[in-house]
């Protein structure tokens, strides 16, 4: 092949490489979907962001991403995602593969316990959650693996006047089988110890022992009496299960 043709071919390859590397995200990604929209899409396809993200008419803030193109060779889409400047904040490495499998590593998140953000929550419960997860894996929308710590702070029940319920932490050690966490209180009117199991339904099974601390609101003390008689230490056993 003649030298000028080689130069032209290399020029075309370089142009395509530069185009792909700098391909504007707005050329490829729509600013609006069936349940979501972006005020604007900025940056490139590989490193860009969606400003003013709204999902189901609820504002979430600004979402930015840095794709990992090398993972495409193993039929997986991977990116570092950051959500900021909204009611929720999150940061972590997310990967999606075939068969509806999604996993995340080094995931941190802070968000209010609001039914508009988490539809499975009862409307009368409010507070704030913090997640620090080394790994979480979902298969077809069901959590199959979970390792890390989830805290719920300043939980309140607001069906009438606001009743403080305290703060709690669930610690998932990881491993095979259904994700199981140890659960305990951090502070507040209730002393609690138990276990939380996430089931494939998807759902949960919660059991443990609970007691009211001195100075607990009378409505809490009265509600615990429905659990039966306390043991010698004043604790009552409880169990609860449900599906999402």
Instruction: Determine, yes or no, domain membership for 66.
Output: yes
Measured CA to CA, the distance from residue 144 to residue 176 in angstroms comes to 9
- Residue 28 inside a domain? The answer is yes
Q: What is the pLDDT along the chain (244 residues), one digit of tens a residue?
A: 445 555 555 555 544 444 444 556 665 667 788 788 999 999 888 888 999 999 888 899 999 999 887 776 677 889 999 999 999 999 999 998 877 789 999 999 999 988 777 777 778 888 999 999 999 999 888 899 999 999 999 999 887 778 899 999 999 998 888 999 999 999 999 999 999 999 988 888 999 999 999 989 888 888 898 888 888 888 999 999 888 7
Residue 177 lies in a domain: no
Range of the domain at 34: 24-95
- Quick one: pLDDT at residue 4? 58
**pLDDT at residue 46 in the model:** 82
Greatest Cα-to-Cα distance within the chain, rounded to the nearest angstrom: 94
User: Coil, strand or helix: which one is 95?
Assistant: strand
Q: How many domains does the chain have?
A: 1
Does the residue 38 lie in any domain? yes
CA distance 173 to 208: 18
Phi, psi (deg, nearest 5) at residue 155? -70, 135
Residue 152 belongs to some domain of the structure? no
List own/partner pairs for 211-219 with CB under 8 A and 24 or more apart.
211/235, 211/236, 213/188, 213/189, 215/189, 216/189, 216/190, 217/163, 217/164, 217/189, 219/163
Say how far apart CA 224 and CA 202 lie, in whole Å. Answer: 28
Helix (H, G, I), strand (E, B) or coil at 162: coil
Taking CA atoms, 190 is separated from 151, 212, 214, 225, 235, in Å, by 15, 5, 9, 13, 10
Distance CA 20, CA 127 (A): 44
In a domain, 58, yes or no: yes
pTM for the model stands at: 0.83
Residue 32 falls within a domain, yes or no? Answer: yes
């Amino acid at each position: 092949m003649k030298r000028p043709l080689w130069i032209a071919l290399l020029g075309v390859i370089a142009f395509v490489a530069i185009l792909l590397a700098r391909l504007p995200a707005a050329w490829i990604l729509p600013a609006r979907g069936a349940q979501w929209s972006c005020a604007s899409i900025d940056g490139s396809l590989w490193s860009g962001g969606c400003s003013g993200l709204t999902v189901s008419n609820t504002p979430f803030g600004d979402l930015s991403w840095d794709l990992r193109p090398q993972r495409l060779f193993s039929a997986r889409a991977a990116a570092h995602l950051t959500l900021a400047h909204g009611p929720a904040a999150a940061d972590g490495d997310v990967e999606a593969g075939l068969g509806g499998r999604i996993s995340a590593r080094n995931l941190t998140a802070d968000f209010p316990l609001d039914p508009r953000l988490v539809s499975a929550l009862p409307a009368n419960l409010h507070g704030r959650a913090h997640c620090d997860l080394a790994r979480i894996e979902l298969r077809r929308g069901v959590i199959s693996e979970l390792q890390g710590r989830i805290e719920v702070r300043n939980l309140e029940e607001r069906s009438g006047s606001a009743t403080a319920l305290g703060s709690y932490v669930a610690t998932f050690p990881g491993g095979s089988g259904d994700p199981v966490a140890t659960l305990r209180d951090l502070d507040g009117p209730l002393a609690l110890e138990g276990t939380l199991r996430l089931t494939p339904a998807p759902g949960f099974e919660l059991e443990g022992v609970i007691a009211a601390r001195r100075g607990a609101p009378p409505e809490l003390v009265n509600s615990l009496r429905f659990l039966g008689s306390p043991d010698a230490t004043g604790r009552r056993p409880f169990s609860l299960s449900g599906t999402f």
